[in-house]
Chains A and B, each alone.
Chain A
């Protein structure tokens, strides 16, 4: 069959956001591909430098629209380290509740994109229906559903509202219950297995080369999670799940079914599975967090940060585990009331770098599935 170039993007249904791909096709097989991004560059980091420290948080909020709380938190951590601002324990707890809810919400959105990419419309609706419940929780606490703008240097904007804790537990139960349903209809569906098992496995070498972190790396057995060892998560018990390399027998005959078919470690199905398992862990973390929510104030009362508040000169790099991987934030302060430099290091960049190697040799029909399985956020990569 003839060779042919196919240029897709910047807008295309199979792409996670505005990006451009030039595929060299051999029939339906992708021989090579070039990736171009930058279409969604908004100059967030530069904007941060042009406004007060206070305003930088609002910009950080928009780094990744699907996981606003992660970038807020990582910026807060860095600035708090430079300025030596103490955060009350209750505020820490509220922050982590938001982070874990954000992780579940992001993973649910991932499931919806994954389902859409294989053309399973039903599961898209199911998953988005349940994600609404989490957005409801965000709304209850922060007043916003997507772009939360709730974290502040030294705490959070407000205390938990009445009934919030109970509803978090309700939603945890609901999601736990629904995951059984997802598994029945989707995760171990024969066609879905055929489309995902053994497709585009991420090798450990490529992970190391590209610096891929988060669920994508863990699916291939690289069990690294910056939550472990982080002081924020010290008191919490949770596992770091991985993909197929985990014990299959724990899932009964369905697991055996998946094991006996031809899948390999780190393939698309693993990346799907690892996020499902992470949701379970997040639910466990949430239950622990709300069970031992400390009393006290939700904001450091000794400081009042407005737009004229100067941060002492210094430099800090903080990182945390966002839903997509390790999110880093480098903050430099010149002692002014605006940041000297704020720079984010985002997990999607690494996955994008690995993309050309990953899609080599797959079929066109698998391209949207592979792209969805990497959980790319172009907003985050382009900043």
Chain B
């Protein structure tokens, strides 16, 4: 909780403010997660509009920059279309749980970290699983055929995606010698990324990202939410505020997976050592955390936009083909990466 004190001191408060963890959680969601969500939503709409020879949002604010805000406000003032079922309540509970459990363990820099245990990596991973479980329950709880099919597809996909991505994590853990965020970052440098350490780790990177897309059902692998055949699948009966929550949850899954990928494979938050020692000499630790966070988020956004770019250029894959691909291609590749990394680490 170091960093909260740092900031409090920098802003002129005494360090004895009660409810520090809550302040920290609120800060992360208000100043990191929500702006990221808005930014990626805007960039996605604007860049895909550029790709697709159209204009995209342009009315709200300068070049439509306030569009995500407008969307959110619109959804928030809407009521749900029908009364809530037990399944939906359960879903909302799981959703919130996944969200806040992993917020505490999300790695956003060497100083900005709340929980850093031996098993840090698995906390966001677990929350991705809970999100998938929640989505499945939401679909199954709707008592409609599209919702049912969407739920089943989500379940099948998350099962298929978990295996390779879990093994991808193991590869990195083996390489770094720990699953602690700080240790994972320490094993990398500003430009010395784990994914380029040796070919098997590059393979593990590909498997981890691919498995994550399958697990979280991110386009173009989002058969459970397909518009053309089951008109939205799980999301078909989710409206108003619930839809805002649902879409935010999906974004959060995507975001946290990208942050994990960056921390595990793409140099984490490491900035050049000279810059760091220069800041330390100036006694400006707040600056270090800001620069680290910026660098981490920048890489995360680039990765997310790259994935969105692929999604825009390709049709949606069929669910049975996705799961086949995940079990039949990503799974064996993950095992190859694991064995290769093991040998490489021993030698």
Contacts and interface: CB of A to CB of B under 8 A. Distances in A.
For the residues of A in contact with B, the DSSP-based class is helix
Contacts of A369: 228
B81 to A, nearest CB: 17
Interface in B307-324: 312-321
Interface stretch (B23-31, B50-58, B251-259): B50-58
Given A14-B231, A122-B51, A191-B315, 15 more contacts: A6-B145, A14-B228, A116-B228, A119-B226, A121-B52, A122-B52, A122-B313, A125-B52, A125-B53, A186-B315, A191-B220, A192-B315, A364-B230, A367-B229, A368-B228
A191 B312 CA distance: 13
Interface in A68-118: 115-118
28 contacts: A12-B231, A13-B228, A13-B231, A28-B149, A28-B152, A28-B320, A119-B219, A119-B220, A119-B226, A119-B227, A120-B316, A121-B312, A126-B53, A185-B313, A189-B314, A189-B315, A191-B220, A192-B315, A194-B318, A195-B315, A195-B317, A364-B229, A365-B226, A365-B229, A366-B318, A367-B229, A368-B228, A369-B228
B212 interface: no
A129 B55 CA distance: 13
A152 to B, nearest CB: 37
B135 to A, nearest CB: 18
B347 to A, nearest CB: 36
A116 B312 CA distance: 12
A90 B230 CA distance: 50
A330 interface: no
A14 B51 CA distance: 25
Interface string A184-214: 0110010110110000000000000000000
Nearest to A194: B321
Contacts of B230: 364
A28 B312 CA distance: 26
A133 interface: no
Contacts of A185: 313
Which of B219, B318, B321: most chain A Cβ within 10 A? Answer: B318
A259 interface: no
Contacts of B229: 13-14, 364-365, 367-368
B315 A120 contact: yes
Contact of B318 (A116, A186, A195): A195
Contact of B228 (A28, A119, A125, A189): A119
A120 B315 CA distance: 4
Nearest to B228: A368
A113 B315 CA distance: 13
Contacts of B316: 118-120, 191
Interface in A309-355: none
Interface string A354-370: 00000000011111110
B123 to A, nearest CB: 33
Which of A119, A120, A189: most chain B Cβ within 10 A? Answer: A119
Which of B51, B54, B229, B317: most chain A Cβ within 10 A? Answer: B229
Interface string A1-16: 0001010000011100
Interface in B220-234: 220, 223, 226-231
Interface of B: 48, 51-54, 145, 149, 152, 219-220, 223, 226-231, 312-321
A28 B54 CA distance: 36
A114 B134 CA distance: 32
B318 A365 contact: yes
Q: Please provide the 9 A-B residue pairs with the shortest distance between their CB atoms, ordered closest to farther.
A: A119-B316, A118-B315, A120-B315, A125-B52, A368-B228, A6-B145, A13-B231, A122-B52, A191-B315
B272 to A, nearest CB: 39
Which of B48, B219, B228, B317: most chain A Cβ within 10 A? Answer: B228
Nearest to A367: B229
B326 to A, nearest CB: 14
Contacts of B226: 119, 365
Contacts of A121: 48, 52, 312
A310 B282 CA distance: 100
Interface in A7-46: 12-14, 25, 28
Contacts of A12: 231
A365 B53 contact: no
A261 to B, nearest CB: 13
A365 B229 CA distance: 6
Given A365-B223, A368-B228, A122 B312 contact: yes
A366 B63 CA distance: 38
Nearest to A13: B231
B128 to A, nearest CB: 23
Contacts of A191: 220, 314-317
Contacts of A119: 219-220, 226-228, 315-316
Nearest to B232: A13
Interface in A362-383: 363-369
Interface string A122-153: 10011001000000000000000000000000
A267 B318 CA distance: 17
Contacts of A364: 149, 229-230
Nearest to B49: A125
A227 B109 CA distance: 70
A173 to B, nearest CB: 18
Given A191-B220, A363-B320, A364-B229, A126 B52 contact: yes
Contacts of A28: 149, 152, 319-320
Contacts of B320: 28, 363
A369 to B, nearest CB: 8
A317 B317 CA distance: 46
A121 to B, nearest CB: 7
A125 B51 CA distance: 10
Contacts of B314: 120, 189, 191
A118 B53 CA distance: 19
Contacts of A367: 229
B185 to A, nearest CB: 36
Contacts of A120: 314-316
A363 B318 contact: yes
B92 to A, nearest CB: 27
